[in-house]
């Protein structure tokens, strides 16, 4: 296989990993949210009987949707990897921010997978006492929404590496750094769902859930676009270099 073909193969692999981002958002919000039956969100103010009834309704459909969401959670891993592969080009010396970004991405994959499995446990045995299902529901929502630190770790690592990129043609545009920092700020209010069961700060509220969720989903979509651009540029530069040495 020629060097040019190697470059093309590397580009294709990275493109596939980049598209894992949008596919993940579809699996999460479509699988967990729509098919899984958790959008509209189950209010924290619902009684144990109401929550148990929600899990008992359309059990097979809910479990199918949650399975899709669980599979989709894995897609965050190759996506985080390709972000770090491109971010590495922006750093000189040891790739500290690239490593931090990928390590944070591994944790994101875990903190997405675990609560989805708990949602599945809640739907698995509808005949159990309603109070147990209520506790599982609380645990699942809090585990899914609150763990923002690894997400912020990814965003801050990208921002630092991007702002420090002094190459003539930066890997990511500088606005990506400010966009990442702004999103990092927007996901912080997710913490408030532990303090409020109702209102805008609860897990059904605008500030407690919808704004952090929108910021989280938007990052995958915007980063996919800039990743595809960066991958294309990298492949073009590599091809020119190999041809010049031929």
Write out pLDDT tens, residues 154-195.
999 999 999 999 888 899 999 999 999 999 999 999 999 999
Do the domain assignments include residue 245?
no
pTM, full prediction: 0.91
With a pLDDT cut of 90, the percent of the chain lying above it is 85
Res 1: pLDDT: 44
- Residue 239 pLDDT > 90, yes or no? no
Which runs of E-coded beta strand occur in 26-90?
none
Residue 244 placed within a domain = no
How many angstroms separate the CA atoms of 55 and 58, rounded?
A: 8
Q: Per the domain annotation, does 232 fall within a domain?
A: yes
* Structural domain for 231, as ranges: 3-238
Rounded mean pLDDT, 192-206 = 96
> Is residue 83 very low, low, confident or very high in pLDDT (cuts 50, 70, 90)?
very high
Q: Is residue 102 one of the residues assigned to a domain?
A: yes
Instruction: Examine residue 81 and state whether it is found in any structural domain, yes or no.
Output: yes
Is 31 a residue whose pLDDT tops 90? Answer: yes
Q: Using an 8 Å Cβ cutoff, are 52 and 123 in contact?
A: no
- Mean of the per-residue pLDDT values of the chain: 93
The residue with greater pLDDT, 73 or 234, is 73
- Asked whether the beta carbons of 121 and 147 are under 8 A apart, the reply is no
120-165 confidence digits (pLDDT tens): 999 999 899 999 999 999 999 999 999 999 999 999 999 999 999 9
Question: b/e map of 153-181 (b: 16 or more CB within 10 Å)?
Answer: bbbbbbbbbbbebeeeebbbeeebbebbb
Residue 130 tokens read as 């309603």
Give the pLDDT score at 2. 46
Whether 114 maps to a domain, the answer reads: yes
Tell me how many domains the chain contains.
1
pLDDT at 246: 57
Q: What does the pLDDT average to over 193-204?
A: 96
Residue 37 lies in a domain: yes
Asked whether residue 96 is domain-assigned, the answer is: yes
């Amino acid at each position: 296989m020629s060097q040019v073909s190697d470059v093309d193969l590397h580009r294709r692999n990275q493109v596939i990993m980049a598209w894992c981002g949008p596919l993940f958002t579809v699996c999460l919000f479509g699988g967990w949210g729509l098919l899984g039956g958790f959008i509209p969100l189950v209010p924290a103010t619902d009684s144990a009987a109401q929550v148990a009834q929600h899990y008992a309704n359309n059990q097979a459909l809910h479990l199918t949707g949650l399975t899709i969401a669980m599979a989709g959670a894995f897609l965050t891993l190759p996506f985080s990897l390709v972000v770090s592969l491109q971010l590495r080009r922006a750093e000189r010396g040891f790739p500290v921010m690239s490593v931090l970004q990928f390590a944070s991405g591994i944790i994101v994959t875990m903190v997405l997978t675990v609560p989805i499995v708990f949602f599945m446990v809640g739907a698995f045995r509808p005949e159990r006492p309603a109070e147990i299902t209520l506790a599982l529901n609380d645990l699942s929502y809090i585990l899914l929404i609150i763990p923002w630190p690894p997400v912020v770790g990814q965003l801050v690592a990208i921002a630092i590496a991007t702002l420090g990129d002094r190459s003539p043609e930066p890997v990511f545009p500088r606005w990506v750094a400010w966009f990442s920092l702004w999103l990092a700020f927007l996901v912080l209010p997710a913490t408030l769902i532990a303090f409020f069961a109702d209102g805008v700060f609860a897990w059904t509220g605008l500030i407690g859930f919808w704004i952090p969720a929108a910021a989280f989903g938007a990052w995958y979509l915007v980063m996919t676009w800039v990743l595809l651009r960066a991958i294309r540029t990298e492949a073009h530069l590599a091809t020119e270099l190999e041809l010049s040495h031929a």
